[in-house]
Amino acid sequence: MTSPRAARLWGGRFGAETAAVIERLNNSLSFDARLWREDIEGSIAHARMLGASGIIPGDEAEKIVEGLQGVLAGLESGSQSLDPSAEDIHTAVEALLRDRVGPVAGKLHTARSRNDQVATDLRLYLRRAIAAIQGAIADLQAALIERADGEMGVVMPGYTHLQHAQPVLLSHHLLAYFWMLQRDRERLRDGLARVDVLPLGSGALAGTTFSIDRDAVASELGFAGVSENSLDAVSDRDFVLEFLADAAILMVHCSRLGEELVLWSSQEFGFVRLDDAVTTGSSIMPQKKNPDGAELARGKAGRVIGSLMALLTVMKGLPLAYNKDMQEDKEGLFDAVETVLLVLPALSLMIRTAAFDGNAMCRSMQGDFSTATDLADALVRSGMPFREAHAVVGRLVRACLDRGIGLEDLTPTEIAAIAPETAVLDWVDLSVSASVAARATHGGTALDAVASQLARAREVLKR
Protein backbone atom coordinates (compact mmCIF):
# COMPACT_ATOMS: atom_id res chain seq x y z
CA MET A 1 0.00 0.00 0.00
CA THR A 2 1.40 3.34 -0.97
CA SER A 3 -0.10 6.79 -1.03
CA PRO A 4 0.58 9.67 -3.40
CA ARG A 5 3.21 12.05 -2.10
CA ALA A 6 1.38 14.62 -0.04
CA ALA A 7 2.92 18.03 0.52
CA ARG A 8 6.48 17.39 1.62
CA LEU A 9 9.87 18.99 1.59
CA TRP A 10 11.89 16.18 0.01
CA GLY A 11 11.50 13.48 -2.60
CA GLY A 12 14.04 14.25 -5.32
CA ARG A 13 16.11 11.17 -4.67
CA PHE A 14 13.16 8.78 -4.29
CA GLY A 15 11.93 6.52 -7.07
CA ALA A 16 9.01 4.91 -5.27
CA GLU A 17 6.18 6.17 -3.13
CA THR A 18 6.31 5.94 0.66
CA ALA A 19 4.28 3.06 2.03
CA ALA A 20 1.07 4.30 3.61
CA VAL A 21 1.92 2.68 6.93
CA ILE A 22 5.30 4.43 7.01
CA GLU A 23 3.67 7.72 6.14
CA ARG A 24 1.28 7.26 9.03
CA LEU A 25 4.11 6.28 11.36
CA ASN A 26 6.24 9.23 10.30
CA ASN A 27 3.52 11.87 10.29
CA SER A 28 3.52 14.34 13.16
CA LEU A 29 1.03 16.97 11.98
CA SER A 30 -1.77 15.57 14.13
CA PHE A 31 0.11 16.79 17.20
CA ASP A 32 2.79 19.26 16.07
CA ALA A 33 0.07 21.39 14.43
CA ARG A 34 -0.02 23.02 17.88
CA LEU A 35 3.28 24.69 16.94
CA TRP A 36 1.90 26.71 14.01
CA ARG A 37 2.27 30.07 15.68
CA GLU A 38 5.81 29.40 16.88
CA ASP A 39 6.81 27.91 13.53
CA ILE A 40 5.66 31.04 11.69
CA GLU A 41 7.25 33.42 14.20
CA GLY A 42 10.55 31.59 13.87
CA SER A 43 10.32 31.69 10.08
CA ILE A 44 9.56 35.41 10.00
CA ALA A 45 12.66 36.16 12.09
CA HIS A 46 14.74 33.82 9.91
CA ALA A 47 13.50 35.38 6.65
CA ARG A 48 14.15 38.93 7.90
CA MET A 49 17.70 37.92 8.85
CA LEU A 50 18.27 36.25 5.44
CA GLY A 51 17.28 39.50 3.76
CA ALA A 52 19.23 41.79 6.09
CA SER A 53 22.36 39.65 5.70
CA GLY A 54 22.08 39.68 1.91
CA ILE A 55 21.74 35.89 1.74
CA ILE A 56 18.55 36.34 -0.25
CA PRO A 57 17.50 39.60 -1.97
CA GLY A 58 15.79 42.06 0.38
CA ASP A 59 12.61 42.35 -1.68
CA GLU A 60 12.20 38.57 -1.71
CA ALA A 61 12.71 38.40 2.04
CA GLU A 62 10.04 41.06 2.39
CA LYS A 63 7.67 39.09 0.20
CA ILE A 64 8.24 35.99 2.32
CA VAL A 65 7.74 37.89 5.58
CA GLU A 66 4.51 39.44 4.31
CA GLY A 67 3.37 36.03 3.10
CA LEU A 68 4.09 34.49 6.50
CA GLN A 69 2.24 37.31 8.24
CA GLY A 70 -0.70 36.58 5.95
CA VAL A 71 -0.55 32.88 6.85
CA LEU A 72 -0.42 33.76 10.54
CA ALA A 73 -3.46 36.02 10.23
CA GLY A 74 -5.28 33.44 8.10
CA LEU A 75 -4.73 30.69 10.66
CA GLU A 76 -5.58 33.00 13.53
CA SER A 77 -8.90 34.02 11.98
CA GLY A 78 -9.65 30.51 10.78
CA SER A 79 -9.98 31.67 7.16
CA GLN A 80 -7.12 29.31 6.33
CA SER A 81 -6.28 25.83 7.56
CA LEU A 82 -3.38 23.42 7.51
CA ASP A 83 -3.33 20.72 4.84
CA PRO A 84 -4.06 17.59 6.87
CA SER A 85 -2.01 15.45 4.48
CA ALA A 86 1.20 17.40 5.19
CA GLU A 87 4.02 15.50 6.88
CA ASP A 88 4.49 17.97 9.72
CA ILE A 89 3.82 21.57 10.76
CA HIS A 90 6.92 22.88 8.99
CA THR A 91 5.77 21.37 5.69
CA ALA A 92 2.20 22.58 6.19
CA VAL A 93 3.26 26.18 6.88
CA GLU A 94 5.63 26.26 3.90
CA ALA A 95 2.84 24.95 1.66
CA LEU A 96 0.52 27.76 2.79
CA LEU A 97 3.31 30.27 2.16
CA ARG A 98 3.83 28.89 -1.35
CA ASP A 99 0.09 29.29 -2.04
CA ARG A 100 0.46 32.96 -1.18
CA VAL A 101 3.80 34.01 -2.63
CA GLY A 102 4.68 31.33 -5.18
CA PRO A 103 8.10 29.73 -5.75
CA VAL A 104 10.00 32.40 -3.78
CA ALA A 105 8.67 30.53 -0.73
CA GLY A 106 11.35 27.97 -1.55
CA LYS A 107 14.03 30.44 -0.42
CA LEU A 108 12.81 30.49 3.18
CA HIS A 109 14.55 27.25 4.04
CA THR A 110 17.97 28.63 3.04
CA ALA A 111 20.54 28.12 5.83
CA ARG A 112 18.05 26.19 7.92
CA SER A 113 17.02 22.62 8.63
CA ARG A 114 13.90 21.21 10.18
CA ASN A 115 16.19 20.01 12.96
CA ASP A 116 17.13 23.48 14.20
CA GLN A 117 13.67 24.71 13.23
CA VAL A 118 11.75 22.23 15.38
CA ALA A 119 14.07 22.79 18.36
CA THR A 120 13.38 26.53 18.02
CA ASP A 121 9.62 26.03 17.74
CA LEU A 122 9.63 23.88 20.84
CA ARG A 123 11.55 26.42 22.88
CA LEU A 124 9.21 29.21 21.77
CA TYR A 125 6.23 27.03 22.71
CA LEU A 126 7.67 26.17 26.10
CA ARG A 127 8.41 29.78 26.95
CA ARG A 128 4.72 30.60 26.47
CA ALA A 129 3.52 27.46 28.20
CA ILE A 130 5.67 28.14 31.26
CA ALA A 131 4.32 31.68 31.54
CA ALA A 132 0.74 30.39 31.37
CA ILE A 133 1.41 27.68 33.95
CA GLN A 134 3.07 30.13 36.31
CA GLY A 135 -0.05 32.28 36.12
CA ALA A 136 -2.28 29.30 36.92
CA ILE A 137 -0.07 28.28 39.85
CA ALA A 138 -0.16 31.83 41.21
CA ASP A 139 -3.95 31.78 41.06
CA LEU A 140 -4.13 28.56 43.09
CA GLN A 141 -1.69 30.11 45.56
CA ALA A 142 -3.97 33.15 45.80
CA ALA A 143 -6.96 30.87 46.47
CA LEU A 144 -5.05 29.14 49.28
CA ILE A 145 -4.12 32.51 50.79
CA GLU A 146 -7.75 33.71 50.67
CA ARG A 147 -9.00 30.60 52.44
CA ALA A 148 -6.15 30.51 54.95
CA ASP A 149 -6.99 34.10 55.81
CA GLY A 150 -10.72 33.43 56.13
CA GLU A 151 -10.32 30.30 58.27
CA MET A 152 -7.78 31.76 60.70
CA GLY A 153 -8.30 30.22 64.13
CA VAL A 154 -9.94 26.97 62.97
CA VAL A 155 -8.12 24.04 64.58
CA MET A 156 -7.87 20.64 62.94
CA PRO A 157 -5.99 17.45 63.69
CA GLY A 158 -2.54 17.38 62.15
CA TYR A 159 -1.57 13.92 60.95
CA THR A 160 1.42 11.66 60.69
CA HIS A 161 0.86 8.15 59.33
CA LEU A 162 -2.74 9.40 58.82
CA GLN A 163 -3.14 9.14 62.62
CA HIS A 164 -3.99 12.17 64.73
CA ALA A 165 -0.63 13.58 65.76
CA GLN A 166 -0.80 17.19 67.00
CA PRO A 167 -3.43 19.91 66.50
CA VAL A 168 -2.71 22.47 63.78
CA LEU A 169 -4.50 25.43 62.29
CA LEU A 170 -6.44 24.70 59.11
CA SER A 171 -4.79 27.83 57.71
CA HIS A 172 -1.38 26.34 58.44
CA HIS A 173 -2.33 23.15 56.60
CA LEU A 174 -3.61 25.10 53.58
CA LEU A 175 -0.52 27.28 53.47
CA ALA A 176 1.71 24.19 53.34
CA TYR A 177 0.47 23.82 49.77
CA PHE A 178 1.16 27.47 49.08
CA TRP A 179 4.88 26.89 49.68
CA MET A 180 5.00 23.69 47.62
CA LEU A 181 3.45 25.61 44.74
CA GLN A 182 5.84 28.49 45.30
CA ARG A 183 8.79 26.15 44.76
CA ASP A 184 7.06 24.77 41.66
CA ARG A 185 6.82 28.27 40.27
CA GLU A 186 10.47 28.94 41.11
CA ARG A 187 11.59 25.69 39.50
CA LEU A 188 9.80 26.61 36.28
CA ARG A 189 11.35 30.08 36.35
CA ASP A 190 14.84 28.64 36.88
CA GLY A 191 14.33 26.19 34.01
CA LEU A 192 13.29 29.03 31.74
CA ALA A 193 16.91 30.21 31.66
CA ARG A 194 17.85 26.97 29.90
CA VAL A 195 14.86 27.09 27.54
CA ASP A 196 15.67 30.64 26.55
CA VAL A 197 18.51 29.80 24.12
CA LEU A 198 18.18 29.96 20.32
CA PRO A 199 19.13 26.77 18.43
CA LEU A 200 18.27 28.19 14.98
CA GLY A 201 21.40 28.54 12.88
CA SER A 202 22.68 25.09 13.83
CA GLY A 203 21.46 23.70 10.52
CA ALA A 204 20.91 19.97 10.32
CA LEU A 205 23.75 19.30 12.75
CA ALA A 206 27.00 21.03 11.77
CA GLY A 207 26.10 24.69 11.30
CA THR A 208 25.63 26.40 7.93
CA THR A 209 27.78 27.59 5.03
CA PHE A 210 25.91 30.92 4.88
CA SER A 211 27.04 33.84 6.99
CA ILE A 212 23.88 34.18 9.02
CA ASP A 213 23.34 36.58 11.90
CA ARG A 214 22.19 34.39 14.77
CA ASP A 215 22.20 37.21 17.30
CA ALA A 216 19.75 39.20 15.19
CA VAL A 217 17.36 36.23 15.09
CA ALA A 218 17.78 35.69 18.82
CA SER A 219 16.99 39.27 19.64
CA GLU A 220 14.01 39.40 17.29
CA LEU A 221 12.57 36.27 18.93
CA GLY A 222 13.47 37.53 22.40
CA PHE A 223 15.93 34.75 23.25
CA ALA A 224 18.55 35.56 25.88
CA GLY A 225 21.33 33.98 23.83
CA VAL A 226 22.32 31.51 21.09
CA SER A 227 23.46 27.91 21.47
CA GLU A 228 27.20 27.24 21.49
CA ASN A 229 27.30 23.84 19.79
CA SER A 230 25.25 22.90 16.76
CA LEU A 231 25.26 19.16 17.53
CA ASP A 232 24.04 19.80 21.05
CA ALA A 233 21.46 22.37 19.94
CA VAL A 234 19.64 20.09 17.49
CA SER A 235 19.86 16.89 19.48
CA ASP A 236 19.27 17.58 23.13
CA ARG A 237 15.86 17.76 24.71
CA ASP A 238 17.01 18.27 28.27
CA PHE A 239 14.97 21.47 28.42
CA VAL A 240 11.84 19.39 27.73
CA LEU A 241 12.89 16.77 30.28
CA GLU A 242 13.52 19.46 32.86
CA PHE A 243 10.12 20.97 32.22
CA LEU A 244 8.45 17.55 32.45
CA ALA A 245 10.25 16.90 35.73
CA ASP A 246 9.02 20.25 37.06
CA ALA A 247 5.51 19.50 35.79
CA ALA A 248 5.59 16.02 37.35
CA ILE A 249 6.58 17.47 40.75
CA LEU A 250 3.88 20.11 40.39
CA MET A 251 1.33 17.39 39.60
CA VAL A 252 2.46 15.41 42.64
CA HIS A 253 1.59 18.46 44.73
CA CYS A 254 -1.77 18.81 42.97
CA SER A 255 -2.35 15.11 43.51
CA ARG A 256 -1.70 15.33 47.24
CA LEU A 257 -4.04 18.32 47.57
CA GLY A 258 -6.64 16.39 45.57
CA GLU A 259 -6.20 13.42 47.88
CA GLU A 260 -6.76 15.62 50.96
CA LEU A 261 -10.01 16.89 49.45
CA VAL A 262 -11.11 13.34 48.68
CA LEU A 263 -10.36 12.22 52.24
CA TRP A 264 -11.75 15.31 53.93
CA SER A 265 -15.01 15.18 51.98
CA SER A 266 -15.62 11.53 52.92
CA GLN A 267 -18.24 10.64 55.57
CA GLU A 268 -15.43 9.40 57.82
CA PHE A 269 -13.72 12.80 57.92
CA GLY A 270 -16.50 15.25 57.08
CA PHE A 271 -14.02 18.14 57.25
CA VAL A 272 -15.15 19.76 54.01
CA ARG A 273 -18.20 19.97 51.81
CA LEU A 274 -17.19 20.43 48.19
CA ASP A 275 -19.40 22.67 46.11
CA ASP A 276 -22.00 21.19 43.76
CA ALA A 277 -20.14 22.92 40.93
CA VAL A 278 -17.02 20.83 41.46
CA THR A 279 -18.60 17.45 42.18
CA THR A 280 -20.60 14.92 40.20
CA GLY A 281 -23.33 12.40 40.87
CA SER A 282 -23.83 8.68 40.45
CA SER A 283 -25.98 7.15 37.73
CA ILE A 284 -27.43 4.63 40.18
CA MET A 285 -27.07 5.99 43.72
CA PRO A 286 -29.19 9.13 43.97
CA GLN A 287 -27.60 10.30 47.22
CA LYS A 288 -24.04 10.36 45.91
CA LYS A 289 -21.90 13.44 45.50
CA ASN A 290 -18.49 12.40 44.27
CA PRO A 291 -15.28 14.45 44.36
CA ASP A 292 -14.38 13.54 40.77
CA GLY A 293 -12.44 16.75 40.19
CA ALA A 294 -10.22 16.13 43.21
CA GLU A 295 -9.79 12.50 42.19
CA LEU A 296 -8.71 13.57 38.72
CA ALA A 297 -6.24 16.09 40.13
CA ARG A 298 -4.76 13.00 41.77
CA GLY A 299 -5.22 10.64 38.83
CA LYS A 300 -3.86 12.94 36.16
CA ALA A 301 -0.51 13.13 37.91
CA GLY A 302 0.07 9.65 36.51
CA ARG A 303 0.13 10.71 32.87
CA VAL A 304 2.56 13.60 33.48
CA ILE A 305 4.92 11.38 35.44
CA GLY A 306 4.53 8.86 32.60
CA SER A 307 5.48 11.45 29.98
CA LEU A 308 8.67 12.26 31.88
CA MET A 309 9.57 8.56 32.05
CA ALA A 310 8.71 8.09 28.38
CA LEU A 311 10.97 10.87 27.15
CA LEU A 312 13.84 9.90 29.45
CA THR A 313 13.59 6.44 27.92
CA VAL A 314 13.42 7.77 24.35
CA MET A 315 16.53 9.92 24.84
CA LYS A 316 18.78 7.62 26.82
CA GLY A 317 20.24 5.60 23.94
CA LEU A 318 20.35 8.17 21.14
CA PRO A 319 23.69 8.89 19.47
CA LEU A 320 24.31 12.46 18.30
CA ALA A 321 22.81 14.28 16.62
CA TYR A 322 19.11 14.45 15.58
CA ASN A 323 17.22 11.14 15.43
CA LYS A 324 13.59 10.77 14.45
CA ASP A 325 12.93 9.15 17.84
CA MET A 326 12.98 12.71 19.13
CA GLN A 327 9.69 13.45 17.42
CA GLU A 328 8.29 11.50 20.38
CA ASP A 329 9.12 14.46 22.63
CA LYS A 330 5.99 16.33 21.61
CA GLU A 331 2.86 14.45 22.59
CA GLY A 332 3.99 13.98 26.18
CA LEU A 333 5.05 17.62 26.41
CA PHE A 334 1.79 18.95 24.97
CA ASP A 335 -0.21 16.60 27.15
CA ALA A 336 1.69 17.68 30.27
CA VAL A 337 1.12 21.37 29.51
CA GLU A 338 -2.58 20.82 28.78
CA THR A 339 -3.07 18.59 31.81
CA VAL A 340 -1.46 21.06 34.20
CA LEU A 341 -3.49 23.93 32.71
CA LEU A 342 -6.66 21.89 33.26
CA VAL A 343 -5.97 20.69 36.78
CA LEU A 344 -4.68 23.94 38.32
CA PRO A 345 -7.79 26.10 37.68
CA ALA A 346 -10.03 23.18 38.70
CA LEU A 347 -8.22 22.98 42.05
CA SER A 348 -8.44 26.76 42.46
CA LEU A 349 -12.21 26.52 42.06
CA MET A 350 -12.45 23.58 44.50
CA ILE A 351 -10.46 25.49 47.12
CA ARG A 352 -12.34 28.76 46.64
CA THR A 353 -15.76 27.08 46.95
CA ALA A 354 -14.96 24.52 49.67
CA ALA A 355 -17.05 24.73 52.84
CA PHE A 356 -14.76 23.70 55.69
CA ASP A 357 -16.41 22.31 58.80
CA GLY A 358 -14.43 23.50 61.83
CA ASN A 359 -16.87 21.81 64.21
CA ALA A 360 -16.32 18.41 62.64
CA MET A 361 -12.57 18.97 62.88
CA CYS A 362 -12.97 19.88 66.53
CA ARG A 363 -15.20 16.87 67.29
CA SER A 364 -12.71 14.52 65.68
CA MET A 365 -10.07 15.61 68.19
CA GLN A 366 -12.08 14.75 71.31
CA GLY A 367 -10.18 12.12 73.27
CA ASP A 368 -7.58 11.67 70.51
CA PHE A 369 -4.54 12.28 72.79
CA SER A 370 -3.16 14.76 70.27
CA THR A 371 -1.92 16.99 73.09
CA ALA A 372 0.16 14.22 74.70
CA THR A 373 3.36 15.90 73.49
CA ASP A 374 2.29 19.09 75.26
CA LEU A 375 2.05 17.22 78.57
CA ALA A 376 5.46 15.66 77.98
CA ASP A 377 6.87 19.11 77.15
CA ALA A 378 5.41 20.47 80.41
CA LEU A 379 7.14 17.71 82.38
CA VAL A 380 10.39 18.55 80.61
CA ARG A 381 9.96 22.18 81.62
CA SER A 382 9.70 21.09 85.23
CA GLY A 383 13.09 19.40 84.92
CA MET A 384 12.34 15.86 83.73
CA PRO A 385 14.46 14.45 80.84
CA PHE A 386 12.35 14.18 77.68
CA ARG A 387 12.75 10.39 77.39
CA GLU A 388 11.38 9.94 80.90
CA ALA A 389 8.53 12.36 80.24
CA HIS A 390 7.67 10.43 77.09
CA ALA A 391 7.37 7.19 79.10
CA VAL A 392 5.30 8.81 81.87
CA VAL A 393 2.81 10.30 79.41
CA GLY A 394 2.67 6.97 77.58
CA ARG A 395 1.56 5.39 80.84
CA LEU A 396 -1.10 8.05 81.32
CA VAL A 397 -2.39 7.48 77.79
CA ARG A 398 -2.68 3.77 78.48
CA ALA A 399 -4.59 4.45 81.72
CA CYS A 400 -6.99 6.76 79.86
CA LEU A 401 -7.54 4.18 77.12
CA ASP A 402 -8.41 1.59 79.80
CA ARG A 403 -11.00 3.95 81.26
CA GLY A 404 -12.31 5.20 77.93
CA ILE A 405 -11.47 8.85 78.62
CA GLY A 406 -9.23 11.47 77.06
CA LEU A 407 -6.07 13.02 78.46
CA GLU A 408 -7.85 16.32 78.95
CA ASP A 409 -10.43 14.55 81.18
CA LEU A 410 -7.82 13.65 83.81
CA THR A 411 -7.70 15.89 86.88
CA PRO A 412 -4.28 16.89 88.27
CA THR A 413 -4.97 14.61 91.27
CA GLU A 414 -5.70 11.63 89.03
CA ILE A 415 -2.56 12.39 87.01
CA ALA A 416 -0.50 12.45 90.20
CA ALA A 417 -2.06 9.15 91.29
CA ILE A 418 -1.25 7.32 88.05
CA ALA A 419 2.18 8.90 87.58
CA PRO A 420 3.61 10.28 90.86
CA GLU A 421 6.54 11.74 88.93
CA THR A 422 4.16 14.41 87.62
CA ALA A 423 3.49 15.76 91.11
CA VAL A 424 5.95 18.56 90.38
CA LEU A 425 3.56 19.83 87.76
CA ASP A 426 1.24 22.76 88.05
CA TRP A 427 -1.99 22.53 86.14
CA VAL A 428 -1.37 22.08 82.39
CA ASP A 429 -3.85 23.23 79.76
CA LEU A 430 -4.20 20.23 77.45
CA SER A 431 -6.79 21.79 75.14
CA VAL A 432 -6.11 21.73 71.43
CA SER A 433 -6.18 25.52 71.27
CA ALA A 434 -3.51 25.78 73.98
CA SER A 435 -1.45 23.20 72.08
CA VAL A 436 -1.65 25.24 68.87
CA ALA A 437 -0.94 28.51 70.69
CA ALA A 438 2.20 27.04 72.25
CA ARG A 439 3.87 26.45 68.89
CA ALA A 440 4.81 30.05 68.32
CA THR A 441 8.21 29.69 66.66
CA HIS A 442 8.87 30.80 63.07
CA GLY A 443 7.10 28.29 60.82
CA GLY A 444 4.96 26.94 63.68
CA THR A 445 1.20 26.65 63.84
CA ALA A 446 0.36 29.28 66.51
CA LEU A 447 -2.01 32.01 65.38
CA ASP A 448 0.61 34.77 65.35
CA ALA A 449 3.18 32.57 63.60
CA VAL A 450 0.64 31.67 60.92
CA ALA A 451 -0.40 35.30 60.60
CA SER A 452 3.16 36.32 59.81
CA GLN A 453 3.53 33.29 57.52
CA LEU A 454 0.43 34.52 55.70
CA ALA A 455 1.93 37.99 55.39
CA ARG A 456 5.13 36.53 53.94
CA ALA A 457 3.11 34.37 51.53
CA ARG A 458 1.29 37.48 50.31
CA GLU A 459 4.62 39.23 49.90
CA VAL A 460 6.12 36.35 47.91
CA LEU A 461 3.08 36.11 45.66
CA LYS A 462 3.28 39.82 44.83
CA ARG A 463 6.92 39.56 43.67
Binding residues for ligand ARG, rule: CB under 6 A, are: 28, 32, 88, 114-115, 118, 322, 326-327
- Cα angle: 226, vertex 228, 233; to 5 degrees: 80
Is the separation of the CB atoms in 365 and 167 below 8 Å? Answer: yes
CA–CA dist 212, 55 (Å, integer)? 8
- CB-wise, 26 or 431, nearer to ligand ARG? 26
- CB-wise, 325 or 429, nearer to ligand ARG? 325
CA–CA dist 406, 220 (Å, integer)? 70
Quick one: which of 344, 42, 369, 64 has its CA closest to 223? 42
- Give the active site residue among 30, 81, 266, 282: 282
Please spell the DSSP secondary structure of 259-274, one letter per residue. HHHHHHTSTTT--EE-
- Give the active site residue among 77, 79, 161, 211: 161
- CB-wise, 9 or 252, nearer to ligand ARG? 9
| Neighbour-count burial of 365, counting CB atoms closer than 10 A to its CB (0-12 exposed, 13-18 middle, 19+ buried) | buried
- CB-wise, 114 or 253, nearer to ligand ARG? 114
Quick one: which of 41, 142, 52, 54 has its CA closest to 89? 41
CB of 115 to ligand ARG, least distance (A): 5
If residue 167 lies in a helix (H) or strand (E), which one and from where to where? Answer: strand 163-169
Distances 154 to 150, 164, 260, 356 between C-alpha atoms, Å: 9, 16, 17, 9
Peptide bond just before 6 cis, omega within 30 deg: no
- CB-wise, 249 or 333, nearer to ligand ARG? 333
Quick one: which of 188, 167, 185 has its CA closest to 177? 185
Known active-site residue 282: yes
- CB-wise, 148 or 333, nearer to ligand ARG? 333
Half-sphere exposure of 389 (CA within 13 A, CB side): 17
Please list the active-site residues. 161, 282
